[in-house]
Amino acid sequence: MALRASSLPGLRSLVGAMALFLCFGDAAAAAGGAGGTIGVWKNYTSMRDVRAAALTGDTLWVATGGGAFRYIIADTLYTLFANTEGLSSNDLTAVEVDPDGDVWFGSSTGAIDVYSPRDRSWRRILDISLSSQPMKGVRSFLSTGDTILIGTDFGMSIFIRSRWEFKDTYLKIGPLPAQVPVTTIALIRDTVWVGTLQGLAMAPFHRPLNSPSSWTGFRQSDGLPSNAVQDISDSPFGVCVATSQGAAVLSGALWSGLVPSLQGVDVVRLVNSNEGLFAALRTGSVYLVSPARQAAPFAQNLPSAPTALLIDRAGSVFVGLQGNGISFYPAGQGARTILPNGPTSNLFTSLAVNANGTLWVATGFNGRGTGFFGFDGTKWNSYTVQQYPQLGTNDYYRAAVGAKGSMWFSSWGTGVAMLDSHGGLHVFTSANAGFVGIPDDPKFVVIGGVASDDRGNTWMTVRTAADGNAIAVFTPDSTWKFFRNGYNSSLTLLTKLVIDPYGTKWIISEDPQRPGLLYFNDRGTLDNQSDDIWGFLTTDDGLVSNSIRVIAVDRLGDIWVGTDLGLNHIVNPTNPTAQGAISPYVPLRGVLVSSIAVDALNNKWVSTPDGVVQLSSDGTDAVQYTSASTNGKLIGGTVGDIAVDASTGTVYIGTDQGLSTLTTIAVAPVASASSLVLSPNPFRVPSDGNVTIDGLAAESSVKILTSDGLVVNEFDTPGGRIALWDGRDENGNAVPTGVYFIIAYTRDGAQVAKGKLAVIRK
């Protein structure tokens, strides 16, 4: 190991001070800090869309379209599970609890994840997902003894838990058509019943199920209301089935309608109880059929279609709902909702982080939106038209940070909503702001991009404004002003907008007359439009395509332009038409770029059809993240937007299947450095991990010293608040056991921070 005396000015006094530091300990280092959190993925999804549920004791296990959650009824406690907690897929379709208490989750991909609550471990079964079947989703489970029966999109499989292997797979079940989806499986009095979308089959469970002669099939010709069987249950009247055209009971060898009120209706779930048979209808009702075969409504006007139905030993009823969690009817009490706090939707179309570190999300348009919501790191708060009728619609599709701590949300048809710094909600429409909407309906106002300048103005585009006022500005005194397109007033289909440090507004034109990049500078005189500067850039000026998807301003004031054919870098935004002002980013040539975010170290985070690419500050290095390369920790699906919280280094990646976050070292530097937070401390070497050095001023360098003041390593940091050290000296050797002093200093020596680290050599 190379040792040498430090040449850092003032080192002698620092080492002397740190000798006292050694005696009394490092409270900041002991407290931990960012250590252990760098490079950690976390997923957030909406778990409103219940697909299936299972009950064991007072614990409810729920499979949803955004992962799973456990709910302990007595304690009202939730535990959430997504890709980052061990699931192979968040798009769950089935759940079952086996006799050992292990929980089986099936997904639309065919992956099966088995969770052990005892030791919080996971086991994966990927045989179905890796099969050659074109459709391979898991639709149902039945656990009995050592056996798990698995209903899939193409048949039924039998899995033996003790051997942890498949025993058999049936692509054809008795007389039913081959390779039909198995929707439900039940074991009633030693007979296995299998419901499919093409009929029902039964067989004695002790007989060979691979023998066609073991099975008896039933279809509409045998009295079933429909061949689309959705559930099977025992009842006081015998075996009953739920179909898309009603519920039926087996009488001898034929089926007959159960009760008149359950005929000709879509019955999705059945469950037997001491009170009789409960039946859930897709129309949003639950009926109870008494032992005397009299049906009465149990619950009506549910907010959406039921998807699961359970009853516990106390007689409490649980109704899983499409998009609305679980309606819980405790015995003898009023109904309540079981739903963990979370986003209202898995559509993360647009993201923005405000100065407080709150993430804001807009969800969608054309009927797919569910309003907008915020996340402060702990709690999600939603804003929907059901909660706030003044919003006028749930189709809010863009989120942006405005002036004076405000947040703005662009709607598809109503105008724009603003949350002020105190949380007050304001909605600006054609009626109260002067917007003029599309030519066919001037009251239908679609706001595009929103951005604020350094004078407290909030700017936005008005898509296809019928009066030509395609740019609007909300001033610090809460008045509205409007601008026509000074380059070409007939071009009004203007969408996203950003503002650079020079006050220039960069605006995407999607106008079919002339797509490209519009730029505009009002020169600080809102009331004098005669001095405004306008310009327009296309492929003639060096853009790789005129079909622009996104624009961003980096930490140096440069402009980055994402298109359907790659990425451009405008290195001279004050004179963008000058020779060499626009250059293509060659590594992404021909690749669609749909979003760009810039972190505290000026790295660019770029979304592509394959995932996300992180470009270094100078663009010379690139790291790609995909769902496959991260083992599903980056949620699959299409990336809608990316945002960065510079105060924590968190990168938010919004997709159409949920939100992924990644913690990075790109944290804004501290204004005044003093003590360093080192983690983990003590640090064991050699190690696959690193020591996190937290608390750096901008552009710091770091020296690692022994307790004798000898330098074992020194390096420049990335420039932000955090740096990493791998516990090795300048020659790449792991340092010996001992106490080491970490000293960070700025280039001019004006700021120095220190910390103490214990190293244990294995």
Look up residue 684 and give its two tokens. Answer: 């064991």
pLDDT tens readout for residues 589-625: 999 999 999 999 999 999 999 999 999 998 889 999 9
Phi, psi of 141 (to 5 degrees): -130, 155
Which pLDDT band, with edges at 50, 70 and 90, does 37 fall under?
A: low
Residues sharing a CB contact under 8 Å with residue 183, sequence separation 6 or more, in sequence order: 139, 140, 151, 195, 196, 197, 228, 229, 230, 231
* Rounded Cα–Cα distance for residues 553 and 496 (Å): 13
715 C-beta neighbours (distance < 10 Å), count: 12
Look up residue 628 and give its two tokens. Answer: 């496959």
Look up residue 376 and give its two tokens. Answer: 């402060």
Burial letters 155-180, b for 16+ CB under 10 A, else e:
bbbbbebeeeeeeebbebbbebeebb
Higher pLDDT, 36 or 317: 317
Residue 13 above 70 pLDDT?
Answer: no
> What pLDDT, on the 0 to 100 scale, is given for residue 473?
97
Average pLDDT score over residue span 431-436: 96
User: Any bridge partners for residue 309, and if so which?
Assistant: 319
What percentage of the chain reaches a pLDDT higher than 70?
95
* Rounded Cα–Cα distance for residues 260 and 265 (Å): 10
Strand extents, DSSP E, 680-751: 683-685, 691-694, 701-706, 710-716, 722-725, 738-745
Mean pLDDT computed over every residue of the chain: 93
Which pLDDT band, with edges at 50, 70 and 90, does 698 fall under?
A: very high
Query: In the chain, count of helices (H) and strands (E)?
Result: 2, 64
Residue 4 above 80 pLDDT?
Answer: no
Which pLDDT band, with edges at 50, 70 and 90, does 33 fall under?
A: very low
> Got the DSSP string for 275-339?
TEEEEEETTTEEEEE-TTS-EEEEE---SS-EEEEEE-TT--EEEEETTS-EEEE-TTS--EEE-
Look up residue 590 and give its two tokens. Answer: 């021909």
Higher pLDDT, 45 or 2: 45
pLDDT tens readout for residues 353-377: 999 999 999 999 999 999 999 999 9
Q: Which helix H or strand E contains 30, and what residues bound it?
A: helix 27-30
Strand extents, DSSP E, 205-305: 216-218, 229-233, 240-243, 246-251, 254-257, 267-273, 276-281, 285-289, 295-299
The answer to whether residues 294 and 259 touch, using CB atoms and an 8 Å cutoff, is yes
Burial class (CB in 10 A: 0-12, 13-18, 19+), 645: buried
Options 2.40.110.10, 2.60.40.10, 3.40.50.620, 2.30.30.100; which CATH number does 4-37+670-761 get?
2.60.40.10
> What pLDDT, on the 0 to 100 scale, is given for residue 573?
95
Residues in the chain: 762
* Rounded Cα–Cα distance for residues 262 and 464 (Å): 51
pLDDT tens readout for residues 729-759: 999 999 999 999 999 999 888 999 999 999 9
User: Any bridge partners for residue 287, and if so which?
Assistant: 279, 297
> What pLDDT, on the 0 to 100 scale, is given for residue 637?
82
Look up residue 57 and give its two tokens. Answer: 């004791």
Q: How do strand 752-761 and strand 683-685 relate by DSSP bridges?
A: parallel
Comparing CA positions, the residue from 310, 312, 319 lying closest to residue 337 is 319
User: Any bridge partners for residue 52, and if so which?
Assistant: 63
Residue 405 above 80 pLDDT?
Answer: yes
Comparing CA positions, the residue from 487, 434, 441 lying closest to residue 464 is 441
* Rounded Cα–Cα distance for residues 376 and 359 (Å): 6
Average pLDDT score over residue span 242-250: 97
Comparing CA positions, the residue from 375, 395, 396, 383 lying closest to residue 44 is 375
Average pLDDT score over residue span 463-480: 97
Angle at 44 between CA 43 and CA 49, to 5 degrees: 125
Phi, psi of 84 (to 5 degrees): -75, -10
Residue 23 above 50 pLDDT?
Answer: no
- In the β-sheet with 295-299, what is the strand arrangement from edge to edge? 267-273, 276-281, 285-289, 295-299
Which pLDDT band, with edges at 50, 70 and 90, does 632 fall under?
A: confident
Average pLDDT score over residue span 255-275: 96
3-state class of 125 per DSSP?
Answer: strand
Specify the pTM: 0.88
Residue 11 above 60 pLDDT?
Answer: no
What is 49-272's CATH topology? Methylamine Dehydrogenase; Chain H (2.130.10)
What separation in angstroms does the CA of 598 have from each of 96, 498, 505, 547, 642?
44, 13, 18, 22, 9
Q: Which amino acid is at 542?
A: G
> What pLDDT, on the 0 to 100 scale, is given for residue 688?
80
pLDDT tens readout for residues 103-147: 999 999 999 999 999 999 999 999 999 999 999 999 999 999 999
